[in-house]
Amino acid sequence: MERLVVELHTIFHQPVHINEFVYWLAFAKDNTFSSDRMTILEMNLENEEVNTLCCPNGYNFGFSHLAEINGHLCFVHNKTDADTLNAWMLKDRVSEAWCLEYSVEVPQSAYNYTIRRIQNL
C-alpha cells in the first residue's frame, strides 16, 4: 500500500482527547493559511492509526481551534469580520458531517484581550 506523505504543522494548537482518539488541527507546511490547506489529524490510540478529517468549509487557520463539547469534537472559529464565534460539532466521523451548534456574537471590546490557558502552579 502506497502512502502519501505531506509535511504538516500542528504548532500553536493543543491536541484534543476524546474517548480513544486524539485530534490535532494541522496546516500545510507551505504556510498557506486557507481552509483548503488545513486538516484535522485523528489518531486512534487503540490501534495507533492516523487518519485525516476535513474541517468545515470556509475558515482560515489563524482564528480556529479544536475543542471537546459534550464528548464531541468541535471546530471553533472566530469570524472577526462578523464579530461572531461559531462552534461546529462533528456529528459523524465516518461521513465527516459537521453541524453548526453554536453561533455567539462577540463584542468588539473582547478583541482587546487574549485568551490563554492558565496552569496551576
Task: Convert the pLDDT of each residue in 5-48 to its tens digit.
Answer: 445 555 556 889 999 999 998 876 665 554 456 789 999 999 99
In this prediction, residue 3 carries a pLDDT of 47
Residue 1: inside a domain, yes or no? no
Q: Which residues contact 29 (CB under 8 A, 6 or more apart)?
A: 7, 8, 9
Q: Which domain holds residue 65?
A: 8-112
pLDDT digits (tens, 9 = 90+) for 55-91: 887 665 557 889 999 999 999 988 766 678 889 999 9
Looking at residue 5, its pLDDT comes to 46
Give domain status of residue 120, yes or no. no
Work out whether strand 72-79 and strand 97-105 pair parallel, antiparallel, or are unpaired.
Answer: unpaired
18 domain-assigned: yes
In the chain, how many domains are there?
A: 1
In a domain, 119, yes or no: no
The model's pTM: 0.73
